[in-house]
Amino acid sequence: MVWASRVDPGRINQPIDSQPTFDGGDGIAVRIENLLYVDTAVSGDLADECADEIRLFGTASDTHCLYVQWSFDVPADYEGDAAGLTPGPLLTPAGRQIDQATITEGVPGAKNVVMSAYYPGGEPGSTLRWEIGSNEGDWKPLQYEVPDSVGFLPLNFD
């Protein structure tokens, strides 16, 4: 988990109990597990995957990605066959919309179903949107205001 520090709650690296949690409706709980601003200039799997996403879906000027990892729980008494989480668009402070087209589903009773997405060109200060639900029921739109760059500390995995 990478959030705000204990020394300065406005900065990254706080304990996991600080993670944003959202009510997805119908008893579904959604959490943002990781939120990383990834630089393609560094080495490592995250940077390599970000570079691939930029090559496939980004623009020539993109050098970073916003990596988001959600998890969600589907109650055992959920009325549909499965609940899904689909990442929605990310809106950058400059007004650029970055879309995603994928879904992850969890069957009734599933805990900690993980969904992750790279947003090539995504950046701090953006508005992150996603939906949770099913075609048998309703889809609930959710959103989170990504902290600005002051809220992120550099990470070194070397």
Note whether residue 47 is domain-resident: yes
Note whether residue 77 is domain-resident: yes
pLDDT tens sequence across 72-121: 999 999 988 999 999 999 999 999 999 998 999 999 999 999 999 999 99
Question: Structurally, how many domains does the chain consist of?
Answer: 1
Note whether residue 11 is domain-resident: no
pTM of the full predicted structure?
0.83
Residue 136: band (very low, low, confident or very high) from pLDDT cuts 50, 70, 90: confident
Domain membership of residue 55 as a residue range: 16-149
Note whether residue 117 is domain-resident: yes
Residue 84 is part of a domain; what is its CATH number?
2.60.40
Residue 16: band (very low, low, confident or very high) from pLDDT cuts 50, 70, 90: very low
Note whether residue 60 is domain-resident: yes
Query: Could you give the CA distance from residue 8 to residue 1 in angstroms, rounded to a whole number?
Result: 16
Note whether residue 102 is domain-resident: yes
Mean pLDDT of 43-58: 93
Q: How many residues does the chain have?
A: 158
Query: Could you give the CA distance from residue 117 to residue 97 in angstroms, rounded to a whole number?
Result: 15
pLDDT at site 151: 66
